[in-house]
Chains A and B, each alone.
Chain A
Amino acid sequence: MAVPDKARASYEVSRYTTGARINHWVTATSLVLLAVTGLSLFHPSLYFLTGLFGGGAIVRVIHPWIGVVLFFSFLGLFVRFWRANLPSRSDAQWVSHPVDVLTGHEEKLPEIGTYNAGQKIMFWLMSLLIIVLIASGVVVWDQYFYPFTTIPQKRVALLIHSIAAIVAILNWIVHVYAAIWVRGTISAMTRGKVTGGWAWRHHRKWLRDILASRS
């Protein structure tokens, strides 16, 4: 048990390029900043978080700009990963075995390509949410866009924006938890590499494809 995974790794496989990793961490940083600034204005009990940025007025100014960064950064991720997130035949089988998924009995699941069905759902849901968030966010960005919509439209936008943000943060919690729970995952986004064993266990079809393309 004490032996770390890496010590007995047979070999490593490259999973993410340097560009993809930078793109990911820019997105991650802006998402976290957006969540913190957004939540600070969402519930009074979290207003103290504005202190991290220098007060509520600064939060009001920077939140939408970080949103713009996130939008374009996520767009980069979308362009990189959308093909790998198209549905495949094994997805239905993965989704229909939630207990095996949640207990880590991957031997009972089909062989997975680059992404499993859960990751794909997360990807498409996040893409949709970010479109909703940027669109509703622009409507309530009074500094530059106040004259273009009516007050009743802005009210609806605020409601949609807050609900979409909550769902996006929930999605983020699942994403981060999965990366922690499935040991050996985080190195994919730090060093860009995973061990052969990790790939065999979690994304066997992807590993087969990679090894096949090398030979």
Chain B
Amino acid sequence: MANFEFVLPPAPTSNVKPIFGEQDLIRRSASTITPPAKRQTEVAKLIDVTKCIGCKACEVACLEWNDLHHEVGSNTGVYDNPPDLDPDIFTVMRFTEWVNPETKNLEWLIRKDGCMHCEDPGCLKACPAPGAIVQYSNGIVDIDHEKCIGCGYCIKGCPFNIPRISKVDHTAYKCTLCSDRLAVGQGPACAKACPTHAIVFGTKDDMKKHAEGRITDLKSRGFRNAGLYDPPGVGGTHVMYVLHHADQPELYAGLPSNPTISPIVELWKGAVKYVGLSALGFAAVVGVLHHLVVGANRVTAEDEDNAGKLKQGRS
């Protein structure tokens, strides 16, 4: 094992120069923007679940780079630790023990969970604060904590249950795809730390090609349902998985087989928003028109006389 580099060729993390900024936004929450004429090369992180050994080096690297200090938790009797994503944990390993009914083998499925950086991000769609969630033309979906108001709408918009609201500064946190590293030409911290190169990073096209090679290899070794997870329901993602059982993504700690932005969120952020506001404007206009046409409903002298007569008749 002396020649480590020979056994594990370097991940393709050095071919991209994703220098990007405000001028590269293609989506901005609660805002109308003109996307740049030229889109940057789309990047992607490819997580090869079949190569993951569950060492959690990616979790540690993520904590290190993002300077996150999570409270020491307690062991709940399973390998999942910490048990879930939270404002200080942007990525977790989710362990699933599964008996393959065909082979009777116990398979240990380990999926690194975190933001998928959807091409059509539900969090951004749901966000009411202008610019609090942005999408760069290279595909990264990021949160601007200065603009985030902590309403939690992104949680409802996300098809993967990823964002978490901090109890400290009351803003939403999730994986940034190491946008601050990428901007200076570095790969994501998790990919750098992965000892088996189960996490690789590069252009989306390169990552798809890399996945193809992996899938061919897996198929030749009996995993005939091996495949790439790049769900079209959200326009594809910029974090993709190679799965041994791509026909059953739910096996991997409930990875949705066909994630989409919930139709309820689409309705709320679509028709209801426009029809609702129009209805209010319409009602106000009808009121003004009614007053112009009908005029004020005034009490007449006759009414007062009649009221007076009624009172005298009584007394």
User: Are A11 and B308 neighbours in the complex by a CB distance under 8 Å?
Assistant: yes
B288 nearest in chain A by CB position: A177
A147 contacts chain B at the CB level, 8 A cutoff? no
- Interface 0/1 of A124-160, CB less than 8 Å to B: 0000000000000000101000100001101110110
Count contacts between A and B, CB distance < 8 Å: 157
Residue in B155, B307, B314 whose CB lies within 8 Å of A197? B307
User: Are B128 and A56 neighbours in the complex by a CB distance under 8 Å?
Assistant: yes
Chain B residues with Cβ under 8 A from A181's Cβ? Answer: 287, 290-291, 294, 296-297
CA distance A9 to B303 in the complex (A): 9
Chain A residues with Cβ under 8 A from B8's Cβ? Answer: none
Given A5-B298, A44-B30, A173-B284, decide whether A57 and B170 contact each other with a Cβ distance below 8 A.
Answer: yes
User: Are A159 and B267 neighbours in the complex by a CB distance under 8 Å?
Assistant: yes
User: Are A102 and B280 neighbours in the complex by a CB distance under 8 Å?
Assistant: no
A180 nearest in chain B by CB position: B291
Residue in A5, A142, A211, A215 whose CB lies within 8 Å of B152? A142
In the assembled complex, the CB of A14 is this many whole angstroms from the nearest CB of chain B, namely 14
User: Are B297 and A182 neighbours in the complex by a CB distance under 8 Å?
Assistant: yes
User: Are A158 and B299 neighbours in the complex by a CB distance under 8 Å?
Assistant: no
User: Are B273 and A43 neighbours in the complex by a CB distance under 8 Å?
Assistant: yes
User: Are B262 and A155 neighbours in the complex by a CB distance under 8 Å?
Assistant: yes
B310 contacts chain A at the CB level, 8 A cutoff? yes
Chain A residues with Cβ under 8 A from B178's Cβ? Answer: none
User: Are A162 and B262 neighbours in the complex by a CB distance under 8 Å?
Assistant: no
Give residues 121-160 of B contacting A (CB, 8 Å).
128-130, 147, 149-153, 155-156
Residue in B129, B130, B272 whose CB lies within 8 Å of A159? B272
A191 contacts chain B at the CB level, 8 A cutoff? no
B305 contacts chain A at the CB level, 8 A cutoff? yes
Interface residues on B, range: 35 or more
Given A104-B297, A155-B156, decide whether A44 and B128 contact each other with a Cβ distance below 8 A.
Answer: yes
Given A195-B304, A197-B307, A201-B300, decide whether A173 and B287 contact each other with a Cβ distance below 8 A.
Answer: yes
Residue in A57, A102, A155, A200 whose CB lies within 8 Å of B264? A155
Residue in B279, B280, B284, B307 whose CB lies within 8 Å of A11? B307
Given A104-B294, A215-B314, decide whether A201 and B287 contact each other with a Cβ distance below 8 A.
Answer: no
In the assembled complex, the CB of A182 is this many whole angstroms from the nearest CB of chain B, namely 5
In the assembled complex, the CB of B264 is this many whole angstroms from the nearest CB of chain A, namely 4
B79 contacts chain A at the CB level, 8 A cutoff? no
- Interface 0/1 of B88-102, CB less than 8 Å to A: 000000000000000
Q: Which of A19-27, A84-92, A163-171 contacts B (4 or more CB under 8 A)?
A: A163-171
Chain A residues with Cβ under 8 A from B291's Cβ? Answer: 177, 180-181
In the assembled complex, the CB of A99 is this many whole angstroms from the nearest CB of chain B, namely 11
Highest count of chain B CB atoms <10 Å: which of A8, A44, A46, A163? A44
User: Are A197 and B304 neighbours in the complex by a CB distance under 8 Å?
Assistant: yes
Residue in A47, A60, A200 whose CB lies within 8 Å of B307? A200
The 10 closest A-B pairs by CB, nearest first: A196-B307, A197-B304, A56-B149, A10-B308, A44-B30, A197-B303, A200-B307, A166-B276, A104-B297, A177-B287
- Can you list 27 A-B pairs with a CB-CB distance of less than 8 A? A5-B298, A9-B304, A10-B311, A42-B273, A42-B276, A46-B277, A47-B128, A47-B129, A56-B147, A57-B170, A59-B149, A60-B170, A142-B152, A155-B264, A155-B265, A156-B264, A159-B268, A162-B268, A163-B276, A166-B272, A173-B280, A184-B299, A195-B307, A196-B308, A197-B307, A198-B303, A215-B315
